[in-house]
Homo-oligomer: A and B are copies of this chain.
């Protein structure tokens, strides 16, 4: 199966722009032809899109959906159970609103705002998202801080230290990502994250690596140190994690 953007769009019932946007924010990254830049969607992408649509239906933000799906412990069965629970909560809320309309139709002048309340649902949603985020290592907050750093909005010593690592990556970007220098670089990077942010396990590190190329905003920031820095760092991380997996 090899679907073009418009075919994929039609199949999933979304617009082509939506697909492009999802690619941009690193939510759905189809195979991209190296020469033409055309996107080609496969079966895995379709399956992922179905998940995305479900969570979107449940009013998760796209970044939350990204975190949930990126979770290395993601369990399809458990996800289904949770989706069912949230869907039921949503339906029950609609039923309450319906009952309110019915009552008003019968002439009862009920002025309840309570039926509109969706805090219960929102709480459940937040809990779910937060849980995934916690397991996934707070990647999102980390990315945001990094984007700020890379955008030059922070000139602390920490930012300088980070930039130094990125410059080293840029300098090595035409060498073998599995070479000892690259390995040392990745180790330093992992150490930096663990020191300044949170305990960076190999699993999280691998996730970051894929994100460096998948998420366009992130990739651009890295490539400002030299074109190809992002993909080099990503490859180096893959090599590092692969050798320890």
Contact = CB atoms under 8 A, between A and B. Distances in A.
A129 interface: no
A157 interface: no
Interface of A: 11-13, 46-47, 50, 53-54, 57, 77, 80-81, 83-84, 87-88, 90-91, 94-95, 97-98, 101-102, 104-105, 111, 113, 116-117
Given A91-B94, A91-B95, A94-B94, A116 B80 contact: no
Given A50-B111, A111-B46, A113-B53, A105 B87 contact: no
Contacts of A84: 98, 101-102, 105
A80 B94 contact: no
Nearest to A83: B101
A182 to B, nearest CB: 40
Contacts of A95: 91
A90 B101 contact: no
